[in-house]
Structure 1
Amino acid sequence: MALTVDIARLDALTPGELHDLLRLRIDVFVVEQNCPYPEIDGKDPEALHLRLLDDGRLAAYARIFAAGETAGEARIGRVVVAPGYRGQRLGERVMREAIAACGKLSPGAVIAISAQAHLQRFYGGLGFSVTSAEYLEDGIPHVDMIRAAERIAS
């Protein structure tokens, strides 16, 4: 499978591309996880939308905010792998792409995530450390995690 990476602002997405990413997020976060919450939260226009595409089909997605847009750190959220692509380590791939994008957008900034608590080990393997006690977000246990800024050799 040869995946392509696409990173775009909301207004650069076609109506079909926007439909696909919103449908994936709603299908997984609202329907599959049985968690009715306002998925369309008004933050998408300020975000960058990272998509892993398999011959044009959306395989995985993450939403990225540069430092200064939401806080003093860069932020990754809405990380999701399409059901038909699970078990292929695309969660790791989309996160590595998102981390790299954050490094380019906000050099020297830490990266923050709000992680579902059961995924602490996964995110820990990508360099994130827990910074909060467990809390409920939309009825699902979460923890805040950060990843230190990477040092660029001079």
Structure 2
Amino acid sequence: MQTNNFKSVVKKFNELTLYELYEIMQLRNEIFIVEQNCPYQDLDNKDFKATHILVYLDGKLVAYSRIFDVGITFKEASIGRVITHKKVRSSGIGKLLMEKSIETLYELYGKQNIRIGAQYYAIPFYKKFNFVTEGEVYLEDGIKHIEMIKHAK
């Protein structure tokens, strides 16, 4: 699958259309709750404070993340809810999503350390962006996670 047909959209919460918000919630529900068989409360009141990164392929939302300034999720700036639709995995869309997320975070909040709470299986993916593990493995909603940090250079 070629990744040159993608379109990325960056919006604050109050800039999202109702349709975009529905697409985000639908994709997050499909991946985090149904696919991963993990009933949890996805709506955590942080979406209001986030900048949302949406990636479309041929008009369909296929990847998403949200970014935060310092002090909202961690003491550092952070990226979260990183997802790609299973139909586009291994296509390069996830790489594009992370590059756009990091670039946008730096543009909005300055170049600084970025902390994430990564699902344990995704460590190799995040290492490609110079994130390193920090701390101990922990369970969140029954899924193994670990914090990772990307140091500003």
Q: Do they superpose with TM above 0.5?
A: yes
Residues 130, 145 of structure 1: 8 Å contact kept: yes
- Indicate if the aligned counterparts of 2:132 and 2:148 stay in contact, CA closer than 8 A: yes
Runs of 5+ unmatched residues, structure 2: none
Shift in Å, 1:84:
2.2
2:124 match: 121
1:88 Cα shift? 0.4
Asked if 1:23 corresponds to 2:14, the answer is no
Q: Within 5 A, what are the aligned runs for 1:71-90?
A: 71-90=74-93
Alpha-carbon separation, structure 1, partners of 2:90 and 2:124: 16
- Report the Cα distance in structure 2 between the residues aligned to 1:132 and 1:70, rounded to whole angstroms: 16
Match of 1:51 among 50, 54, 59: 54
Partner of 1:67: 70
Q: TM-score, normalised by structure 1?
A: 0.92
Tell me the amino acid that sits aligned with residue 103 of structure 2: A
Q: Offset of 1:2 from its aligned partner?
A: 1.7
Code of the residue aligned with 2:54 in structure 1: it is R
For the residue of structure 2 that corresponds to 1:63, the secondary structure is strand
Q: Match of 1:110?
A: 113
- Among 117, 141, 145, the alignment partner of 1:138 is 141
Per the TM alignment, residue 28 of structure 1 is displaced from its structure 2 partner at its CA by: 0.4
- Per-residue CA deviation, residues 70-112 of structure 1 (Å, 9 max, x unaligned), is 4431100000011222220211110111011111122132001
Task: Pick the aligned partner of 2:7 from 4, 12, 31.
Answer: 4
Q: 1:68 offset after TM fit, Å?
A: 4.1
Report how many aligned residue pairs link the two structures.
150
Given that 1:62 and 1:98 are in contact with CA atoms closer than 8 Å, whether structure 2 keeps it comes out as yes
SS of residue in 2 equivalent to 1:108? coil
